[in-house]
Amino acid sequence: MLRPRIIPCLLVHDDGLVKTVKFKDPKYVGDPINAVKIFNEKEADELIVLDIDATVQGREPNFRLIAQFAAECRMPLCYGGGVRTVEQAKRIIGLGVEKVALSAAAIEDPTLISRIAAEVGSQSVVVVLDVKTSLFGKQEVWTHNGRKNSGKSPLELAKEAERLGAGEVVINSIDRDGQMKGYDLALARKIREATRLPMSVLGGAGSLQDIGALIKECGVVGASAGSFFVFKGQYRAVLISYPTPEQKDELMNTALPSRAAHA
């Protein structure tokens, strides 16, 4: 039976674990490898690791660090940051990573999605769409850590990713990044209705109730979060956490009226 996944997302900047607010002002919160060890102990469903420097700096993925993540991680691992070629994606998968996340490169050259999928399988290709809302309410996908506007809508790019053979899409709200005030449920619902791709949503989670609201709205989905899993309290003390099995079961029972309906 399929069930929603609850997915910590780790941001790597200068080889350290950081958290941002609206993709700005990265705050150092610790050693990313140590965070992986803690999430192993807490039996997280999956882990997303994003290098927020690689594309901006025009460099390739940090294969040394990726190898460390893959060796330590005991859950499915998705890595993104600086992947621009089929060869890089194959090397990352060869290190033991389950999924490769694409963003700027896939938007600039959409055929990269199908070319990588042909080599490593669609299930290992994830397209990340970082979405920002303009003053006039128009939602567009931005790349290069929120610095460059693609001019394209998330719905358009999600449909294109599905057509080209991606196995999953991650919808990340730039506006809600680090805010811990809830997901953009309206955007998640639009993408869910527009594509059959497995979908994960990132940006804004601040409580288990926020995760439950997303699952109730969209059904089987990946509920991803960063700040919620590394900060505690109003002063944002660094404390890595993750729902207990009992909390997860209660969340699923409350959010999904009938699990069988989502199998």
Set 45, 51, 130, 184: catalytic member: 130
Look up 210 and say whether it is catalytic.
no
Write a three-state SS string for the chain. Answer: CCCCEEEEEEEEECCEEEEEECCEEEEEEECHHHHHHHHHHCCCCCEEEEECCHHHHCCCCCHHHHHHHHHHCCCCEEEECCCCCHHHHHHHHHCCCCEEEECHHHHHCCHHHHHHHHHHCHHHEEEEEEEEECCCCCEEEEECCCCEECCCCHHHHHHHHHHCCCCEEEEEECCCCCCCCCCCHHHHHHHHHHCCCCEEEECCCCCHHHHHHHHHHHCCCEEEECHHHHEECCCCEECCCCCCHHHHHHHHHHHCCCHHHHC
User: What's the sign of the alpha-carbon dihedral 170, 174, 180, 184?
Assistant: negative
Tell me the one-letter amino acid at 46. Answer: E
Q: How do beta strands 231-232 and 237-238 pair?
A: antiparallel
Q: Which residues are catalytic?
A: 130
